[in-house]
Amino acid sequence: MGIIIVEICGGSLIQEIKIEQILEAEYPEVAVLESTCLSFCGICARRPYAIVNGKRIFAETAAECLDLIRQRIDLELAVYASI
């Protein structure tokens, strides 16, 4: 299990890409958890999004969202590196 948790909704547009495989291959510190619902009603049908350590990340496209998720993961890892 990772020190960075990325939560995704099973119905989110982020599912257009294989986000779990991509992130867990790139970052061994990351665990991707898929839920049937993350209780942000309707956002999953309008735009790709995920929650990274409790912070919502969303964008216009799945690829853009993935880039923003990577940026957030890098920020979170920097915090752990400084400890």
Q: Mean pLDDT of all residues in the chain?
A: 85
What secondary structure letter does DSSP report for 47?
A: S
pLDDT tens string 24-34: 899 999 999 88
Report whether 14 contacts 43 (CB < 8 A): no
Query: 21 Cβ partners below 8 Å, 6+ apart?
Result: none
pLDDT at 42: 65
pLDDT at 10: 77
The mean per-residue pLDDT over the stretch 75-80 comes to 87
Cα–Cα distance between 83 and 74 in angstroms, integer?
15
11: pLDDT confidence band, cut at 50, 70 and 90?
Answer: confident
Look at residues 12, 30, 13 and name the one whose alpha carbon lies nearest to residue 21. 30
**Residue 41 CA neighbour count, 13 Å, CB half:** 0
pLDDT at 2: 58
